[in-house]
């Protein structure tokens, strides 16, 4: 343990299929980090800035990280930008000089500050929670279909498992791929990673509600086509 500097994890593993860890696991990880003096680091590159219905995904678990890594949405979809946040204890222990060739680009930093201002002004995380909750209630109804296993989500990050056996939850990557392409042909592009069995619903947090409903209609049509 004395050779470990920190533990880093995603509050919700979106790329892995929207896996939401049990709260006691996250709290246990925090306790383990405290016991051994490790940094407890939340990777919020995808889950942060309102995606899961709160400003930070870690908020769902009632623990505070020492450090947070953020990116992607920070630039408002306009500029590439990443950042690390931390409290004074975590960031101020030693004087460190960190230099990058293009770090701190003025235009990117302006984009980030404007993005954060708009998110707070328009209550974007709360909107994500409201629209995501409504969408998940509908998506849960798809579990009655023969090819749908578990559905899960937080905010506007929702995963739909495609299975060949509902009892064993055996993955069906082939049907997942076919459903994905049928969605695309119907005008909807869910997030999908090749050789995965989970289709992800992660629209822009500013999506208009009727458009989200229409996208769910398209996904449901594709799912029903392949259900027995």
Ordered structural domains, the chain, with CATH: 6-121 (3.40.640.10), 125-226 (3.90.1150.10)
pLDDT at residue 153 tops 90: yes
Question: What integer pLDDT is reported at residue 93 of this predicted model?
Answer: 66
**38-48 residue pLDDT tens:** 999 999 999 99
Instruction: Lowest mean pLDDT of 23-27, 49-53, 92-96, 198-202, name the range.
Output: 92-96
Question: What integer pLDDT is reported at residue 139 of this predicted model?
Answer: 99
pLDDT at residue 194 tops 90: no
Question: What integer pLDDT is reported at residue 115 of this predicted model?
Answer: 96
Q: What percent of the chain has a predicted confidence (pLDDT) above 90?
A: 88
- Indicate the pLDDT class of residue 88, thresholds 50, 70 and 90: confident
Per-residue 3-state assignment (H helix, E strand, C coil) for the chain: CCCCCEEEECCCECCCCCECCCHHHHHHHHHHHHHHCCEEEEECCCCCCCCCCCCCHHHHHCCCCCEEEECHHHHCCCCCCCEEEECHHHHCCCCCCCCCCCCCCHHHHHHHHHHHHHHHHCCHHHHHHHHHHHHHHHHHHHHHCCCEEEEEEECCEEEEEEEEECCCCEECHHHHHHHHHHHHHCCCCCECCCCCCEEEECCCCCCCHHHHHHHHHHHHHHHHHHCC
pLDDT at residue 96 tops 80: no
**126-145 residue pLDDT tens:** 999 999 999 999 999 999 99
């Amino acid at each position: 343990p004395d050779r470990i500097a920190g533990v880093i994890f995603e509050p919700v593993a979106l790329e892995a299929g929207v896996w939401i860890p049990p709260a006691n696991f996250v709290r246990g990880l925090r306790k383990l980090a405290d016991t051994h003096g490790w940094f407890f680091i939340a990777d919020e590159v995808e889950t942060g800035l309102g995606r899961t219905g709160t400003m930070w995904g870690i908020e769902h678990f009632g623990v505070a990280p020492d450090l947070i890594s953020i990116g992607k949405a920070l630039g408002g979809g306009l500029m590439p930008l990443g950042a690390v946040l931390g409290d004074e204890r975590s960031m101020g222990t030693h004087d460190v000089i960190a230099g990058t060739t293009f770090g701190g680009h003025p235009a990117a930093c302006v984009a980030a500050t404007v993005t954060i201002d708009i998110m707070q002004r328009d209550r974007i995380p709360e909107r994500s929670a409201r629209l995501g909750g409504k969408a998940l209630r509908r998506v849960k109804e798809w579990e009655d279909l023969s090819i749908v296993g578990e559905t899960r989500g937080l905010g506007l990050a929702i995963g739909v498992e495609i299975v060949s056996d509902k009892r064993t939850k055996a993955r069906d990557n082939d049907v997942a791929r076919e459903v994905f392409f049928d969605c695309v042909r119907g005008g909807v592009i869910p997030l999908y990673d090749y050789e995965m069995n989970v289709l992800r619903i992660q629209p822009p947090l500013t999506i208009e509600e009727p458009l989200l409903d229409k996208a769910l209609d398209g996904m449901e049509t594709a799912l029903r086509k392949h259900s027995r």
